[in-house]
Amino acid sequence: ADALRSLAGHRRQQMWEAAGLRRAPALLRGAPVDEAPLALPAAPEGEEIVADYQSTGLTLRRHPLQLLRPQLQRRRLLTAEVLRACPHGRLVRHAGIVTMRQRPPTASGTLFITLEDETGMVQAICWPRVYERFRAVLVSARLLGLAGTWQREGEVCNLIVGHAEDLTPWLGRLAPTARSRDFR
């Protein structure tokens, strides 16, 4: 996760050099090695972000959704920052990485979801009838696209879910590492 970048260069070069420090197999121990050191190119930013999440569960680089923002904009999926300025009752669309799901027994089947994008968090509320319709998506998606009504009461804002879509494949190799906290 770049802890040794100033000492050993970028991650690909570090891994290559570390692999070269292993002791040679018995058959090759006496063989002379006469080759120039290999200089690997740095990984693309997306690959670095995936590696950060795999090693530490987070990244100090750009948020993964910043890399996907052009695709999200084409689908008219708003950022958390834009949603904060929306008036009560507006129909909106948003996508974010699911950071938490809660379906407390005292909420009569209502699901509460927290989504994160590069600009902040969005709280979503999914009533039981909508939950039943989109259950498979709502319980498994890592990157969740939602459409619904923006609810604003003072500073408290929620997206009332009307439709849900699993956009997890857009995360590529990051998907398995982007885990949410799910509570009952």
Q: What is the pLDDT of residues 57-113, one digit of tens each?
A: 778 888 999 999 999 999 999 999 999 999 999 999 999 999 999 999 999 999 999
Task: Please compute the mean of the pLDDT values over residues 116-137 and round it to a whole number.
Answer: 97
Instruction: Reply yes or no on whether the pLDDT at 153 is more than 70.
Output: yes
Token pair in block for residue 37: 């050191």
R_g (Cα) of the chain, nearest Å: 22
Strand ranges inside the chain, DSSP E: 91-102, 111-117, 120-126, 143-153, 156-166, 181-183
Instruction: Reply yes or no on whether the pLDDT at 8 is more than 60.
Output: yes
Residue (of 144, 143, 164, 154) closest to 64 by Cα position: 143
Supply the pLDDT for residue 55: 79
| CA separation for the pair 163, 9 (Å, rounded) | 46
Supply the pLDDT for residue 176: 59
83 Cβ neighbours under 8 A, 6+ residues apart? 92, 94, 122, 150, 157, 159
16 Cβ neighbours under 8 A, 6+ residues apart? 38, 40
Supply the pLDDT for residue 17: 78
Domain boundaries, the chain: 5-56, 64-183
Has domain 64-183 been given CATH number 3.90.226.10?
Answer: no
Instruction: Reply yes or no on whether the pLDDT at 184 is more than 60.
Output: no
